[in-house]
Structure 1
Amino acid sequence: MPEFPNPHLIEFPKLGEPGIGYISVIEKSQLMPFSVQRIFWTYYTPESIVRGRHAHHRTEQILVAAAGRITVTTELADGTIELFRLEDPHVGLYVPPKAWHTMQYSHAAVQLVFASVPYQEVDYIRNHDDFKLIWGSQA
């Protein structure tokens, strides 16, 4: 099984200035640790809702708060827990396979997600006890 880096922030280029606005660009997988196979976004998520609550066997992801603020909690099988606050659209969070993650959103937050593989339900680990059982033995 390949080794993956731990969750970490990635800063994308921020081009522009306050008077005209900004653009961030990624070309030919520049700064992306994987080839993007799926892109999706979430929006209109109530602030009281916690989404995610899963890990993946194979999928790598980069999460971006395209608008608003997203608080992401990651947990590795060794018990390492980290809290990330995404609120700048030129900063993404790399989430590797084997990382349990949850997200909570500010009002009107828009989350953009780049994923390394197409959607496959069998790739998801949706029960936290199963996550500890599957990955805990390999930590």
Structure 2
Amino acid sequence: MANLDKCHIIDLPKITDSRGNLTYIEAYRHIPFDIRRVYYLYDVPGGAERGGHAHKALHQLIVAISGSFDIHLDDGGRKKTIHLNRSYNGLYVCPMIWREIDNFSSGAVCMVIASDFYDEEDYYRDYGIFLDDAKRL
């Protein structure tokens, strides 16, 4: 299975209540990894792009907590774009996927749940080097 095929939308639990909805995420129940880090992007200026990298070993779940944005995925052979706009859907992104995030709506909040702590050595920041390594897989 190509890496791009491993990336998919995960429907998260949605508890509906007249006082407001609740969604939760549990390691190994909803996502296939331990949760070691959570971060979020917000106040992204109009027209700005985020991402522009890949990870060697890190697994992630990306959720549009508020608003919407597009995620462009690339495994070195194929590409696809996913539009996230529901807080109860998450995009699972496996290792060795180049990602770029753009088209942020006003007030969008992008939450990322990661399988490990921050490690600069896990990043591909040069697309050419990523492509060379991806072709060897």
Is the structural similarity TM-score above 0.5?
yes
Among 81, 84, 104, the residue aligned to 1:86: 84
Which residue pairs with 2:7 in the alignment?
7
Alignment of 1:123-134 (within 5 A): 123-134=122-133
The CA deviation at 1:30 is: 1.7
Q: Provide the identity percentage.
A: 31
Q: For 1:8-27, what aligned pairs fall within 5 Å after superposition?
A: 8-17=8-17, 19-27=18-26
CA distance in 2 between counterparts of 1:47 and 1:54 reads: 20
After TM superposition, the runs of 4+ consecutive aligned structure 1 residues lying more than 2 A away are 26-29
Give 5+ residue unaligned stretches, structure 1: none
Equivalenced residue count is 134
Deviation at 1:20, TM superposition (A): 2.8
| Structure with a larger share of its residues in strand | 1
Q: CA deviation at 1:32?
A: 1.1
Deviations 1:12-41 (A, max 9, x none): 011114x43210122454211100111101
Question: Which whole-Å CA distance do the structure 1 matches of 2:119 and 2:13 have between them?
Answer: 31
Q: Determine the structure 2 residue equivalent to 1:42.
A: 41
Secondary structure of the structure 2 residue equivalent to 1:74: strand
Over aligned residue pairs, what C-alpha RMSD do you find? 1.5
Deviation at 1:115, TM superposition (A): 0.2
Q: How far apart are 1:6 and its partner, in Å?
A: 1.7
How far, CA to CA, are the matches of 1:70 and 1:35 in structure 2?
Answer: 25
**1:22-101 equivalences in 2 (<5 Å):** 22-27=21-26, 29-77=28-76, 79-101=77-99
Q: What is the rounded CA distance, in whole Å, between the counterparts of 1:44 and 1:50 in structure 2?
A: 12
Gaps of 5+ in 2: none
Q: What do the CA deviations read for 1:76-132 (whole angstroms, capped 9, x no partner)? A: 12x211110100000000011000001011111101110001000010000111110
